Amino acid sequence: MLDRIDRRILSTLQENCRQSMAELAETVGLSPSACHRRVGLLESAGLIDGYVAALNQKALGYGIAFFAELTLNAQSEDALEDFERAVTRIPEVVECHLMAGQADYLVKVVAVDTADYERIHRHYLSRLPHVTRIHSSLVLRPVKRWAGIPVPSS
């Protein structure tokens, strides 16, 4: 069960995981050693998966993003594993989710421009194992970006 301090640690780390342990400890009202121990326990419990930097897509030259719904010709364990193994090898696919509903997978793809997306679609997405249908949607602009998982208040 998470207490108030654990929730504060998790929320604070999501806002800025680069801060020092001393800064985090001060923010949450603990000594650095107690804070370090708490963070270790949260990591061991699987509540913290890792630490990442949020990169600027446009600054890196990826001017557009697409969401593509992919439908497979089979939903067997082998077909899903073949697809998942292959899709993880495409660097421009920045997210991939197994779905319930019309499509089997939803992927987010970043591209330099529409010609680059056509290349990715033609040379990678359409050649993924077991894919029978691809429905792509262009992202016009993000309205809300991922900013972390809500930490329950109790």
Q: 48: closest CA among 10, 15, 3?
A: 10
> 13: domain CATH number?
1.10.10.10
**CB 32 within 8 Å of CB 22:** yes
For a pLDDT cut of 90, what percent of the chain falls above it?
Answer: 93
Whether residues 69 and 118 fall in one domain? yes
Number of domains in the chain: 2
Whether residues 77 and 131 fall in one domain? yes
**CB 114 within 8 Å of CB 96:** no
CA dist list (Å): 2 to 5, 43, 49, 121: 8, 13, 16, 44
Q: Which domain holds residue 120?
A: 64-138
**Residues 89-113: tens digit of each pLDDT:** 999 999 999 999 999 999 999 999 9
Model pTM score = 0.86
Tell me the CA end-to-end span of the chain in Å, nearest whole number.
9
Residue 29 confidence class, pLDDT cut points 50, 70, 90: very high
Residue 105 in tokens: 């997978």
